[in-house]
A and B are shown apart, each in its own frame.
Chain A
């Protein structure tokens, strides 16, 4: 890699700085000069690095060559749906009419953008089988917060403001209990049964007698075990019979697209991750979008602004009558919405159905190929991801972390590990729908090879990675003694 394998992570642009070197000349001002602020407010020397353009281009290009991305390799990071994002979406998001909009320009001058948002609201309502949609939330967990605040507002408007408990299965995404706690609710965990389903008896006992203190059950479907909940209709009935709401975490919706509508299952609120299911870029921390779909009962509580179409055809930004209010700046991550809408329209209804078919088929194929070498957490058909356990390998002295690191040597991004928490030595593998049989096979071959290495040459696995630019990183010290920013030698 043309000399780029030196420890670039430890080299900063500050280290490459040479006094007086410049990257570009600032043009002479063509506006009248203003006086400077008072001297005490000014620093006369910012410690910024001084580099030429070429230095900067080489530095960041080399760093980017060390990056692992879906454009360079297989990325089965469970629960994250690291699938391929068709490039046509990027072309469309860059059209000047979308890219050069200003969020403060009058709505009558942005009718095309509002029509797109209205169209996306309509498509997502159809896909989820719900009555209305808000595009405001900027991430999945933000959608959860919006949904749970709506649940509170709904209960308050119905004399149920003292409903203080939120029930969360132990197979839910970790953000679910965090969201409920952040919104001020008391969180109670509901265990899973031996088959990986929600323990209905535990749910009944949590509801019996004091069900009127429960605001909502937050259910992830399919669960983080990669399993569909076959008792979902019974669960919805139980929750509703106590006046509580059923919240759905739809981060795994790529398993159900065009096959199952959450609205038909009894969900009252359901969030979607556009950056997972609807193929917008993610993995770098954002931006994302976590729209929520709701029943007509909850629609008046949706956050502001909500795109509506007046009888005369004009699109407006409205405040729903009992809105929980604003949750962020402007209108959400608009560029993400453009990409998601382009994705939905370019695929069409049959294309969306094909996604869920391929996602589920690929995960079950991985399950079938790995089932003899690794322990299956639950021996049943999975949905879009499969959870296996490295416990047999751990008994031989090789940890799941070692297996994950060894995958890097095989050119594969490691799967999600040690989650869900209820599976010992968990590996959560989501091949996604966009991978071919050949690439899924290559991953399975790597996993099988590593299982053989655990038997025959365990140190090879324990020492991994050996073929990556850097060897095993000391994650424990990084967490115990984090160095959060660079400091000059003089401490500035």
Chain B
């Protein structure tokens, strides 16, 4: 830009610095709370309420692991992790299979009810979970799945509605991706004698792997974090999931704030690790689904 004189260039520089500082301030507000809760989960009792900003280095008196030992003693945290993992893994697996099938069928085939089914998928994203959960509970109660006190059945009673709740988002994301694939590849495989199902598993699935990864991550996180459905269906101690345990610890901890901090860290850390490893897939998938939905 040759018209630029010194004055406007320095103005540009100042505005750049201002942009960076505002962005940095917001970044600070998103990162610092997590940092703060992590350092305080290692702090000895009592000091949190007076001196929560310093770092409790391991060689000082402020450092302790007590909060974590108490968290493990007071609650069966491994059982909760196991329950959460079973629920989220089952939901994710089923959603990936069913949504993949449905998206493939919806994109590649032409049939009469196509438009209608597409609106069915879109509309179901609008239902808040509040509007379906009571009848689902009553239905599952009538089937003898919900509120039985048997752990596997109770987990199943959470898994089923969570699958339904995640399908539409996943179908929409996958449809967008499968539509962009060239159909010629599938046609040539067909000429080589592959059946439609073989084409799906041998060609479409491998090519669409990144978007399958995106919906899998999303479904998993959503299911892991979904307190409302879990609270509705899981009542007994040995059915508890990580999120529910957290909710319970918070109500029992009273003034033991170190314990609360440790509980938060125990839930957040697995997600943090997953996020750092997979953040590109996550952000891409979330916005893709949101804009098309």
Q: Decide whether A and B assemble into one complex.
A: no
Interface residues of B (CB under 8 A from A): none
Interface residues of A (CB under 8 A from B): none
